[in-house]
Structure 1
Amino acid sequence: MDFWSRLIGGSRSLSTKNYRATSPTERLTAFKRTCNTLQQIWRSTNLPSGDQSATTHARNCIDRLNSVLSDESRGPAPHPCLAYAASSQIFVTVTKLALSSYDDGMLRSAAVFFNTLIDSEVDGVVDNRLFARALVDLVRRADKHSEDVEGRLVELLFGVANNIRLQPDILPAWFAPRSEDPDREQQVNSGAEFAGATRKDDFPLFYLLVEYVHHGGRAGDFARTGLLYLIETASRSKNLERWLIESDLATLMATGLGALYSQLGSLSFDEIPDDKMPHIVALSDHAKQETALPPALGASVDSFMSYLLFWQDTIDHCKSAEVNGTLLDHFQVLFLEQLLYPSLLESSDVEGGSTAAVLTYLYRILESIVQDDLVHRILHFLLASPSTALKVNMSISRRKSLDVLAAFSEEAAKPSPSLFNLRDLALLGLQSSNRQTVLATLRLMAVILQRHHTFARSLIWTVPGQYAKQRTVGALNAELEQLMNMATSIVDDPTLHDSFDNYLKDALWTLESHLYIPPAETTLEDDRPLEIRQEDPIVQELLNCLETFFTNSVIVNLALTEVLMSIASSHLISLDGWLLVDSSKYVYGDQPPTHEGSTEILGQIQSAYQEPLLSSSDTPTLTFALQKLVQKIQQWRKDVPDFDILVAARRDLLHQEDSATEPGRFQQPSEASPRVHSERQSRKLLLDYDIGPSLFQDPPGTLSSRQAAAVDSPLREPSIRSPSSRDSSPTRPTAAEELRKRLEQAFQVDHPHKAAAAGEKAEPTVEGAAEDEVKSGNVDEGPRSATLGHVLTNVVILYEFLLEVSATVQARSTLFGEAGYPGVGWNNLLDEQLSG
């Protein structure tokens, strides 16, 4: 039969949609006939790239094979066609035809054919070395013009890796390490073998997957998952485990991560439309500045983070301690020591510098990683924590790999964190005049203290041996009363009880999560809370930032309060001397409480409930800073007659945004996840513009009362909510317009300011005369002035922060046992008395 007859006959038979073999014998006969046709096409034409007719005919034949195999695989056994495809090795011919055609359609058909064979689980296919070679050649040499073809071919590699994971006995068909010889033994003894030698001939499937792990889309997903399956199999194959340690797997992964990190540039910021900007930011003075805009991280950051998460998945899936150790060793030496740490050390804080960028990238890294070993390596190194001794029972391969890495590290002669570590960098960041750097530093500190809180003592200095002391219930009540009095002096909130209850639930959830999450830092000698060292420069800088609270950017204040709350929530740090008075300094009346030697149980209980007098000379440092802020508000209340009304209306306006955009957040706490009601979580998400427009939320059932209370408030007029809404409402009441102008006037926070109260013309604000300087981000706060509206927003943030602090103090007293009934057996005596 000549070529054209075969072409016409093949096309006609393929176009007959109703053709189906009626029996296994007929189906096998038709299948063999199509296989023979493919063999003849290959032998007679060799499919030159320009012969489109031959390519079409070959593709039609492969499609018919796919149709027959698909029908057969869905039916009951026997499956003679699948068995014949394996025994006849027709897959070799399919590979040759697909590679010589340079046709995407042919490659797609070939991919379907191989995928069907892989899924069939027929003997002589996935465990066949000839099949392995044919598939590897197809994927390696195919001209991948489209993303679809690339994804289909890499999917084949994934299918094989999955089979190997499920059936490790088929590994020899794909993995053939070189046999031992005297030359290789000499290399092992000299350490040359462990420098990360490329050994593609040993395991070509593995290297093909490594080649695509950086890719996006389906190809990258299949490659990363397939590679994870192969690494997971190492725990069941000593040969594969040794090969992975000796090969350049760890080197490729570490250098690949470093290459992606090197492509990260400086931060850029995109303009945010007014209707997309969080309302709490839009109402501030810094809405259009870069510190209030989320960084546009771009595709390069996405690629880096995807590969970093692949590292995390690899460590999680790998059950071999030796392979895991090798990967982590290379991660530390080739990425942390040779790239990440130098980038932090060499960053510049001048205008257009990179300090804010590298701190932001590190923040993203620590925010994303939850794998304990990776977190431990990163923070243990960057914070220069004491080194732990290496295990003595590691294999020869692992030891030699470590020796090579150690030699490479010494040869590189990079600076060590023992001289300048992440804590030193954080201190410089807080002292910076660049607001972007300050904000990036606060975010980084918050994520370390929150997500990786066992490193809190490496970031915040504590006093050795100065553990938290238990206070009486009466002392706790006195402390809580002082904190709550500060809050209630700012806002008279009729729903205070419900608001505080929500904060208390959030605090309990946070504290419990710290206790039950396994620590990444495993060298802690004692996990009891230690007192903060008051002279700690970082603590002093946080307090300095708190002093300028009312003129700070709203975003900076949200990040600052997040750091302070993270410290207050750490079970490794005591509140004594920092937020609460040291229990030894409490001052009582004429009859101080006695807890031992008393014969009357009720008298002892009464003594435990006695509240001490809190002396101003013993006021803790953070509490003292908060009191100074509250005192300023009290002064403004005297200078501005309607100050309370303005604060209440501003808080109502911030809460009203939640009711309009997120109605689901007002469900009952018992029906919702604790995160739904977490002000702290909302604050963190707001920093990246990942949530709706407001930080705050109303307690359940309070929405209608708030709406009724503020229905006549001019602050709710569209003319002052956003520039776009002002333009769309040109004719509004004069009172609303006057109020808008008043809120945009400068308000001097350091001295009594009566101009804004009287509606007089005020001097330019930060957004006025100094706008160009502020946008650069490299100026200090300058004259401490802001608009009245900006100050009101920060007053509301302070109020919410005080409630959150109070709730955390109460939650700690219960969960950590920091307050109670001192004395031996007091709790049991109390229980007996109450039950009797």
Structure 2
Amino acid sequence: MDFWSRLIAGTSLDSSRGSKNSSNHPEKRLARFKKQYSQLLQEWRNASNLANDSEAAEDIRCSIQDLTNLLSDESRRPLPHPCISFAASKQIYIPIGKIATTSYNEGIIREAVALYATLIDSEEEDFVENETFSHSLMNLLVRITGANSIRLGLDTEVEVVELSFNITTKIRLDPEILPAWFTASEHEEAEGGQGAHEKFTGKTHKEDFPLFYLLIDYIHHEGRIGDFARTGLLYIIEAASNSVALEQWIVESDLATLMATGLGALYSQLSRKLVIDHPSNELPPILALSDYQHPITNFEIVSSSSPDFQGHMETFLSHLVFWQDVLNHCKSVEVKSTLLEHFQVIFLQQLLYPSLLESSDVDGGSSVAVLTYLRRILEALDHPDMIHLILHYLLALPDTTPAPTGSRASVSAARKRKSMDLATMMQGFQVEEAATPALFNLVDLIQGSLRSSSEQTISVTLQLVSVILRRHHRYAVTTLLWTSQVLSDGSQRTIGAHDLELDFLLGLAGNIGGDDNFDEVYENHLKDCMGILESHPCSIGLIAPKSASGTTRITGSQASIPGAPRDIRSHTLRPEDPMLKTLLGILATFFTNSIEVNLCLTGAIIDLATCGFMRIDGWLLPDPARYVYDEDEAEAEDPYFMGLGDTIEVQERAQLQELKKARRTPKWDENKVPDLLKQLKTLVDQVSAYRTEIPRFDELLQQRREAFQTASSATSTPIPIRQAPPPRSSFDSSRSVSPPRISALDSLAQRIFPELGTPSRSRSPRGRRSQERSSGALSGGYGLSTPTTSRTGVPPPQFPMGLETPSRESSRAFSPSPLRDAETTLRRHGVPASQAAAFAAVDQSILARKVGLPALKGGIIPIPFPSLRDGKGESSEGSTQGTEDGSVQGEGEEEGKVAEKKSSVNHVLTNVIVLQEFLLELAALVQVRAGLFGEVKYV
């Protein structure tokens, strides 16, 4: 075949070998390269208009490609490299750059960019340090990416930005090549009559550093092109620490302005009104087994589960994290100060705070939106300076006078000019005096939102409070919370009191009832609480090893801006704390609250007690200074030690007496017990009232618990739920008393009674939402989280239900136990299948009934439960309900009064399980704190 091919083509026997020898021989390779370059120039001179002459454009593209291939092949061969030397001496890149610039042909442009990249990658002839080479390349890149250029394809744009990134990488490795790409030219004369302070160096002289602005144009893009641009810009900013001229130029450039306005533009794209929702086919079981209804959405009110909204949110958060990366890479104090100043003035003062100020919970979800956005911002950031700016401004903390930095005079002058430019620009936007946090700050907004009639507003506000308490507790001590300092020599909780408090909390959980292995459940809570306490930022100073000086300093954890809160000290909540009173008010209506509100509420209480410097005595547990003991437990002299005069024996006697005193059990005075414990006791009493008046309460509660256990152990994808008709309003306060969702009740009965014909649903509510360890940009907490793993059947992170890892997400763990089949149990006792189905129907009827909160006064007041024999859901006219004084009141007497909020028994059962898990978690937290922080004395 080879013979006939050569015969037909007329080639010699040694043609292939000659071609190979030509590539290996430097002189022949150079001759071929010169011939190809001459042919390229000849084709360019003969072409009149490459934009319209496709044949000539293709010939030129192929010629440039051949030159690139020869250069690339030669760079991989041993020295010498005559083609690369020829390209450097003859500066072939200049005409090739002109050809690509004037061709308006993407193919030619792409091959020209590839040739420049090949020359740079060869690392020979100092191309990257050559000013002529850099000017030619940047002229090409600026022209082809400018407004008057052709629209480049995505692949070509990626290659352009990647080439720019490669240049910044070399600048980072060798700062001495920076002058070839950056010219610190002097522009002393004002242009166009501009004054010294009106002239903006960064705007009018982009030619000083075109590579810098080329990367800025692409930092907002997604994918590889955005990654290359952002990383390349970080490398340039990092190089500013080695060049005073570059540092001053960056300060006076519009980098900070472009970054701040770009962040503001992305924030403005987020919906002004938001409702928190889940896709119908991925509704968590804990919500399905409640009175949950999907909120209404329209063109104004956006759902958090909308893909478009999630995309906008991810883009905004990614750019916010880019701000953080810039500050982390920046070693220049002046550049960092300029960026932070623009972040505060343009983003915080002009966008974020006004959106918080104008929000409302009566206009369809604007409060839900802005509170959720603020929470996501605080969760995404960990740079102390950015956190300080946000919380210092929104919480209206007092300003302090910054100390002199001692920076270089030229850079400080540039900072001063830039600050004046920023102040002048902002004056144009301030038509009238706007409100400031001094008049209405974040604390006012949080307190008002917690008193809202919208449960979604309450839940997202509680999530925001949890984030501040958990991640930035030092900012909450003097703002959100009313605290008082605790002296180190104050009273300490004794082991006897500690045992009594644990017995009380565990006893409350036990009074709710159940057949589970609660020892295993409690053990899981202990492990979870240990991880929570150890990971709290304030606790690191208490549990980390001390240095030789006896102190523990965590580097990088403090803001460099003056005015940051001082190091946190031991403190406790004051009894009149408004936040604590608000939480207790929400806790009082626990069983009629939505599931989301209760999960966020219990999470906030746990976060309030997580800080190691927060003493829980006095507001969560009784104050040790007010212990009272029975008279028979008074200290008595041990007759064995009477008359002992030996010093050692006396010391041992004294130690034994102290041990006995520490083990004494104090007597609780009802007036001295914290309100939180009283409210928890009231809730458990209400459970007892429900048990008395609701038929089959214990059986239904156990079935609910087992349904969650089955959901947690199953691995199948959740079964879609049929949708009920949408409510009339997204924020209708009476929505919770509307008819129950039959789909949720049907699915519950089908899980409990297999005879109804639908397999069981997977998932169970092991815990409240994950608040810190998010799995994605939108999964930081319940408020904005949307299930993202429906294909694998994994529940959303705010309601983790797996039993695999004992972490904070599994804080309300339900230990596994076999699901009892109700029908099988009934048949085992001789109940026919028809009667088993009838019992299932009766249970469904019970679950659908509406009940309010039981009235307790001097004991448990029975709740009149609607008769199951009348066949009606809610009792009609003439129905009765219990009052606070124990009397029975008809509906006619309720006219003119606010209707009592009621929920279905189905909803109450789920809240009872949440309460039991919260009590176990609270007991575990008290026990772990005692050992980890040494809060209990034994002697």
TM range (shorter): 0.7 to 0.9
Change (3 A) 1:24 1:287: farther
Partner residue of 1:344 out of 356, 369, 372: 356
Code of the residue aligned with 2:853 in structure 1: it is: V
CA distances 1:192-247 after superposition (whole Å, capped 9, x unpaired):
45796553121111111111112222222211111111111111111111111122
Q: Cα deviation per residue 1:139-198 (whole Å; 9 max; x = unaligned)?
A: 2222233222222211111111111111111111111122264669x999x544579655
Pick closer, same or farther for the CA change 1:262–1:51 going to 2, 3 Å: same
Cα offset, 1:798, TM superposition = 1.0
Amino acid at match of 1:282: A
- Pick aligned residue for 1:589 from 630, 649, 654: 630
Aligned with 2:839 (options 710, 720, 735) = 735
In 2, Cα distance between equivalents of 1:133 and 1:715: 84
In structure 2, what is the Cα distance between the partners aligned to 1:662 and 1:685? 24
Partner in structure 1 of residue 437 of structure 2: 417
Alignment partner of 2:111: what SS?
A: helix
Question: 1:707-722 to 2 correspondence within 5 Å?
Answer: 709-713=818-822
Structure 1 segment 433-472 matched on structure 2, within 5 A: 433-466=453-486, 469-472=491-494
Determine the structure 2 residue equivalent to 1:110. Answer: 112
Alignment partner, residue 177 of structure 1: 184
The answer to whether the aligner puts 1:367 opposite 2:379 as a matched pair is yes
Q: Which one of 302, 306, 310 corresponds to residue 318 of structure 2?
A: 306
Residue number in structure 2 paired with 1:56: 58
Cα pair distance change 1:493/1:816, threshold 3 Å: farther
Secondary structure at 1:710's aligned position in 2?
coil
In the TM superposition, what whole-angstrom CA distance separates every residue of 1:565-594 from its partner, at most 9, and x where no partner exists?
Answer: 111112343212221111111111224579
Alpha-carbon distance change, 706 to 373 in structure 1, aligned in 2, over 3 angstroms: closer
Which letter maps to 1:710? Answer: L
User: Take 2:134 and 2:182, find their aligned partners in 1: how far apart are those partners?
Assistant: 10
- Letter in structure 1 aligned against 2:770: Q
Identical amino acids, percent of aligned pairs: 40
Which residue among 152, 161, 167 is the counterpart of 1:160?
167
Give yes or no for contact 2:275–2:368 (8 Å, CA) kept in 1.
no
Aligned residues: 767
Distance 1:298 1:17 in 2: 60
What does the per-residue CA deviation read over 1:620-652, in whole Å, with 9 as the maximum and x for residues that have no partner?
122222221111001112223532222222122
1:756-776 alpha-carbon deviations (Å, 9 max, x no partner): 6847545559xxxxxxxxxxx
Counterpart-to-counterpart distance in 1, 2:244 and 2:937 = 57
Distance 1:708-1:510 versus aligned 2 partners, 3 A rule: closer
Letter in 1 for 2:923: S
The structural deviation recorded for 1:480 is 1.5
- Aligned-partner Cα distance in 2 for 1:181–1:288: 64
Query: Residue 332 of structure 1 contacts residue 377 of structure 1 at CA under 8 Å; is this kept in 2?
Result: yes
Residue 614 of structure 2 aligns to which amino acid in structure 1? I
Are 2:533 and 1:511 equivalent residues in the alignment? yes
Note if 1:335 corresponds to 2:347: yes
- The residue matched to 1:749 in structure 2 has which SS? coil
- CA distance in 2 between counterparts of 1:437 and 1:223 reads 39
Quick check: 796-805 or 496-505, which moved more? 496-505
Q: Secondary structure at 2:24's aligned position in 1?
A: coil
**CA deviation vs aligned residue, 1:306-356 (integer Å, no higher than 9, x gap):** 211110111111111221111111111111112211111122332325222
1:818 aligns with 2:935: yes
One-letter code aligned to 2:466: A
Whole-Å Cα distance in 2 between the matches of residues 819 and 444 of structure 1? 32
TM-score by length of 1: 0.84
Deviates more, 1:320-329 or 1:490-499: 490-499
Give CA deviations for 1:80-113 in whole Å, capped at 9, x if unaligned: 3333333332222332222333333333322322
Q: Residue 556 of structure 1 is aligned with which of 586, 594, 597?
A: 597
Query: What secondary structure sits across from 1:212 in the alignment?
Result: coil
Write the letter of the residue equivalent to 2:315.
S
Shift of the 135–731 alpha-carbon distance from structure 1 to 2, 3 Å rule, reads farther
Other structure's SS at 2:614 match: coil
- Per-residue CA shift, 1:448-482, capped at 9, x if unaligned? 22222322214432333345752112222211111
Higher alpha-carbon deviation: 810-819 or 337-346: 810-819
- Give TM-score, length-normalised by structure 2: 0.75
What amino acid sits opposite 1:354 in the alignment?
S
Match for 2:795: what amino acid? G
Q: Which residues of 2 match residues 112-127 of structure 1 at below 5 A? A: 112-127=114-129
Is the 1:49–1:101 Cα contact (8 Å) retained in structure 2?
Answer: yes
Partner of 1:282: 288
* Counterparts in 2 of 1:457 and 1:649: CA distance versus 1, 3 Å: same
- On the 8 A contact 2:274/2:369 being kept in 1, the answer is no
**Contact conserved, 1:197 with 1:246, CA < 8 A, in 2?**
no
1:377, distance to aligned residue in structure 2 (A): 1.0
1:235 paired with 2:241, answer yes
**Aligned-pair CA distance for 1:792:** 0.7
Structure 1 residues 403, 268: closer, same or farther in 2, change over 3 A?
closer
The 2-side partners of 1:201 and 1:63 are apart by 30
The answer for unaligned runs of 5 or more in structure 1 is 1-8, 10-15, 664-675, 718-729, 766-779, 823-836
Which residue type is aligned with residue 550 of structure 1? Answer: F
Please say if residues 650 and 715 of structure 1, whose CA atoms lie closer than 8 Å, have aligned partners that are also in contact. no
Q: Which amino acid aligns with 1:317?
A: H
Distance in 1 separating the partners of 2:636 and 2:715: 55
Question: Alignment partner for residue 699 of structure 2, among 642, 645, 648?
Answer: 645
The corresponding residue for 1:625 is 679
Instruction: Choose which of 97, 102, 110 in structure 2 pairs with 1:100.
Output: 102
Distance in 1 separating the partners of 2:845 and 2:83: 83
- Stretch deviating more after TM superposition (294-303 or 448-457): 294-303
2:905 maps to which of 788, 795, 798: 788
Instruction: Give CA-to-partner distance per residue, 1:785-834, whole Å, 9 cap, x none.
Output: 11111111111111111111111112222222222236xxxxxxxxxxxx
Which structure shows the higher helix fraction? 1
1:735 deviates by 3.4
Q: CA 1:244–1:524 in 2, change beyond 3 Å: closer, same or farther?
A: same
8 Å Cα contact 2:851/2:904 also seen in 1: yes
Consecutive unaligned residues of structure 2, counting only runs of 5 or more, are: 1-8, 10-15, 145-149, 541-553, 638-649, 718-764, 773-779, 788-793, 827-833, 856-861, 876-896
Greater mean alpha carbon deviation, residues 435-444 or residues 366-375:
435-444
The 10-residue stretch of structure 1 (746-755 or 147-156) with the greater mean CA deviation from structure 2: 746-755
Kept in 1, the 8 Å contact 2:710–2:819? The answer is: no
Aligned counterparts of 1:692 and 1:216: Cα–Cα separation in 2: 28
**AA matched with 2:594:** S
Match of 1:613 in 2: 667
Query: Secondary structure at the residue paired with 1:464?
Result: strand
Residue of structure 2 aligned with 1:480, choices 502, 505, 522: 502
Q: Name the counterpart of 2:219.
A: 213
Q: 1:245, 1:397 within 8 Å by CA — same for their partners in 2?
A: yes
Deviation of 1:403 (Å) = 4.8
CA contact (8 A) 1:653 1:715 kept: no
1:396 to 400, 403, 413: 413
Taking a change above 3 Å as real, the CA distance of residues 285 and 460 of structure 1, as seen in their structure-2 partners, is: same
Closer, same or farther in 2 for the Cα pair 1:112/1:194, shift >3 Å?
A: closer
Structure possessing the higher radius of gyration over alpha carbons: 2
Is 1:39 matched with 2:41? yes
Q: 1:183 to 1:294 in 2, by over 3 A?
A: closer
Per the alignment, do residues 757 and 389 of structure 1 end up closer, same or farther by CA in structure 2, a change over 3 Å counting? Answer: farther
Letter in 2 for 1:785: K
- Give SS of 2:531's match: helix
One-letter amino acid of the structure 2 residue matched with residue 578 of structure 1: W
Q: Which amino acid aligns with 2:399?
A: S
Q: 3-state DSSP class of the match of 1:531?
A: strand
